[in-house]
Amino acid sequence: MNSFAIFRLPYADNCTMIEGDAVVVPSLADLADQHGFLLAPFMVSEKEPIVLIKQQTHPSPSMGEGYISEAESAKKNTSVQDYSLSTHSGGVEGGYEESSYFSDFSIFHKALLDGQYRKLVLARCATVNNDGKTMSMELFQKACQLYPRMFVALVSTPQSGMWLTASPEILLESLSENRWRTIALAGTMRLRSDKADDEGQRLRWSAKNIQEQRYVAS
């Protein structure tokens, strides 16, 4: 089965599609001179490897009316035939049981009280059954409309399943040959409009947001 990644850059009117075979990359050091769309886990393992979709890039239509039908039509010319949303439980069968969550919370809470850590984040996953009517391309388009400031991507590979993501963070951006930048983001606050226009400089941040931002930046 061919793999694909379709993504929209922040504030862009168009999206880009990359189609091709998904190649497992042993480590990030092996990415030199490679090109494509990369899907990498926090902890690399045999079950959750680094996956690179290597193929030519296709500019896609604008995000306006008619985009879904054109994008779906383009996919029908490949071997990717399943457009319904796939769920990924993160290795937890049937989701996260309430008793397990309380048990983990107790461990986290004790570690904080004992002074082992200053901040911990306990996450959980939820499994949602698809009714067969929700199409992945529709969800991608909706995410692009809801989050104009974010990088939005829909990615599907045999190794990872299908993922829909939206993020405002930049891991690494090349500004010139010798200049790079990254973004550390923890503190959050709703803006008053879709355009930032330095609005964040005028907001009053709470002590909690300032401290959480400091952890990530450090």
pLDDT tens, 37-71? 999 888 889 888 999 998 765 555 555 444 443 34
Q: For a pLDDT cut of 70, what percent of the chain falls above it?
A: 73
Q: How far apart are CA 113 and CA 14, in angstroms?
A: 49
Cβ atoms < 10 Å from Cβ of 152: 25
pLDDT band at 194; cut points 50, 70, 90:
low
160, 41 contact by CB (below 8 A): no
C-alpha distance from residue 215 to each of 108, 119, 133, 170, 182 (Å): 17, 8, 42, 17, 15
Provide the token pair at 82: 């399943």
Backbone angles phi, psi at 118, to 5 degrees: -100, -25
Rg (CA), the chain: 20
Rounded Cα–Cα distance for residues 195 and 174 (Å): 23
Average pLDDT of the chain, as a whole number: 77
Q: Give me the mean pLDDT over the 114-138 stretch.
A: 82
pLDDT > 70? residue 93: no
d(CA 134, CA 149): 24
Nearest to 140 by CA among 67, 191, 87: 67
Cβ contact 8:20 at 8 Å: no
* pLDDT value of residue 110: 95
Please state the separation of Cα 143 from the chain's center in Å.
Answer: 11
pLDDT digits (tens, 9 = 90+) for 148-175: 889 999 999 999 999 999 998 888 888 9
Q: Percentage of residues in the chain with pLDDT exceeding 90?
A: 29
173, 181 in Cβ contact below 8 A?
Answer: yes
The predicted model scores a pTM of: 0.69
